[in-house]
Every structure is written in C-alpha cells, then in structure tokens.
Structure 1
C-alpha cells in the first residue's frame, strides 16, 4: 500500500468547495449539486455515452438523477474531510460506504457538468475499487479523459487504494485504449447484467490497475 502520509493532498479548496484540478485543462472534478439534473440528463443521454452504460440506466431520466441527488448530503460531508492530510487513511473506510466518489462531477469554467469520474467500492469483486467515467463527446480526443483518469487515480493512490478495476464492453475500443494509456491491463472477461444494455447479460472485459 502506498504511504499516503508522505504525499500532500491533491484536493484543493475553492469558493465553491473542494475540487480536484485536471492538469492541462480548464476543468475540475467537483461535488454534485441538485441543480445539475439537466446537465446530467443531457450528458448521460448522449448516444455516444449512453450506448456504453453498464450500471447506469439508458435512457437516463430526471428520476434516475435521484440516485445522485440522494447521495449529495453524505458525499458533501465526506468531501470536507478528504483534503486534510491526517484524514487520508480513515476516510478510505468512509468512502467504502458511499455509492460514488464525492468529487466526481467534471465541470468547465462555466460550471456546466461535462463529464463524470468516480471510484467506489466494487460490488462485483471483493477487495477492489471500481472506476467509471464519461467525457462529453465535444471534449473527446483532446486528452481530457486521460488527464481526468490520472487525476482520479492520483487521488486514489494518495487515499491508499490498492487495486482499481474497470469493466468495458469489448466493442468499446476507445475506452479500452484510454485505460491502457493510464496503466490498466486486461485481466479477464466477465458476464454481467448491464442496465444500459437493456437489462440482459453482456460480456465485459475486466481491466486492472495495482496502485
């Protein structure tokens, strides 16, 4: 396990609360807000994103945003402690109890949500953390996905996570390439039931990264 006590926190605090800066881009990973419902519906319903959904429903409705909205009080409270150096190891146990990473809404300088990146305790493989991510198509091909994942994985390392996994549809070549670019390797295949795939069993490639 990485000794998080020897590294400074990657989390910054701004007027709107804690955030993770995404190097090389005017973007940051932030807390979700209830007012983000329209941005979320627009982002997650984009066909380029929705077609690869696994656990998230597609089409995505305002009602589905309730999953995020109901978590906001809990993840907001948790985010307040994440930037303190002495809280890095203890906060890991608290993160295992929430459904998504507190700072998982990717915002541009106008405050619009243009992407998503979360690491949560995996419900599919014990002892692992699972990463999920989306970038609005208008930002794809510009290095945003790479920078965003590296930012999140840097925070995961600082927090003391040891193994991160990702599930990718075998036909989603860009996502697989992105994972390999940031250090993941393909280790196995699993059959899962994916909501975004019409609630039927689908074969996924499993990628792994040891931190």
Structure 2
C-alpha cells in the first residue's frame, strides 16, 4: 500500500513554544543529513532557540485524514547588533524530509521574505553548503544571488564528514 499523499501546506504562521518538538525534530533531521549546518545538535530548549531569532515561522499541512502538523520552519536573525545593519538578516529554512518535494520550502521562503519586508529588513542572506543543491535551487528560484564562496571556512564536527573542512556559498537577496 502506498503512503498517504501529502496535501499542499495550508498555511504559514508564527511559531510558538508548542511547535518546538516538531521544529527540533526537523532541525535534527537536517543536522543528521550533514549538508545543512555546522551545528551538531539543535538547541536544548525553545527559549534558547527563539532567543537567537528575530522571528520564526512554521508551515502547517496535513497528511490525508490526519490533523495538521508542522512540516517545516524558517527563521531570521540579525547579522549584527550594530544599528547600521538593522535591516540585514541571515535566515535558516528546514523541511521535514517526509515533506520534501511538495512545495513546503517554496511556501516557507515566500512567507520568510514577506515577513522580512514587513519588519524593515532590506537584505536577506544565507550560507549554504555547495553540496546542498535543493537549497541552492530554492534560493535561486527566489532571486538570491551568489556573492561569494568561503573556502574551508570551518571544520565539520559531526556526521559522515566529521573532520572535513567545508566550503560555504554566501547568497543574498536585496528586498
């Protein structure tokens, strides 16, 4: 029997502490995959996680016949506390692997950019491993441009690439 099909995500909304277990699990899955972040584990608590973000949004959707669930999350953080950079944010975006290829990333990116504009953010940037082709494609779909490649920027401390120096691609979008 085939797995139930996923409906398109119904909506995005601001994340709450109640969403933390799903956000944490989705983040952990991205960490485990090895091409999403240098982090080796999600923060221990919602408060620790939320304290690093200006805002966090979730995408909710459902599997046929089941209640809505968090399918992915995105958030933005200021790149600097300096006032001149108040409108520059770096973002993160993670999709539950079971919801991949169903438009969740597109929905979240659109919501992230709208929320950024609403908050007076004029530049959104991202740091992506060059091996993360789906992330690079999503960013390019929304008009992000590559502004540089940071070679051997940090040493991977976990997973299959532990002990490997990794490159990252710096992307930005002027709103």
Q: Name the TM-score, length of structure 2 as normaliser.
A: 0.72
SS in 2 for 1:147: helix
- Which of the numbers 106, 112, 118 marks the counterpart of 2:69? 112
Partner of 2:168: 204
Equivalents in 1 of 2:164, 2:47: separation in Å? 27
Equivalents in 1 of 2:31, 2:48: separation in Å? 26
Asked whether the equivalents of residues 184 and 207 of structure 1 are also in contact (C-alpha less than 8 Å), the reply is: yes
SS in 1 for 2:105: helix
| Consecutive unaligned residues in structure 1, runs of 5 or more | 1-23, 73-97
Q: Does 1:156 align with 2:156?
A: no
- Which of the numbers 23, 29, 32 marks the counterpart of 2:13? 29
Write out per-residue CA displacement over residues 25-68 of structure 1, whole angstroms, 9 at most, x where no aligned residue.
Answer: 3132322315633x23432232686422325324x5xxx332x3
| Consecutive unaligned residues in structure 2, runs of 5 or more | 1-7
The Cα shift of 1:200 comes to 6.0
Q: Does 1:69 align with 2:47?
A: yes
Write out per-residue CA displacement over residues 97-134 of structure 1, whole angstroms, 9 at most, x where no aligned residue.
Answer: x41143333333535332110111125xx833101101
Asked whether the equivalents of residues 105 and 117 of structure 1 are also in contact (C-alpha less than 8 Å), the reply is: yes
Equivalents in 2 of 1:104, 1:138: separation in Å? 19
Q: How many residues align?
A: 155
Partner of 1:40: 23
When residues 49 and 162 of structure 1 are mapped into structure 2, their CA distance, relative to the original with a 3 A threshold, is farther
CA RMSD of aligned residues (A): 2.9
When residues 28 and 47 of structure 1 are mapped into structure 2, their CA distance, relative to the original with a 3 A threshold, is closer
Higher relative contact order (Cα pairs below 8 Å, separated by 6+ residues):
1
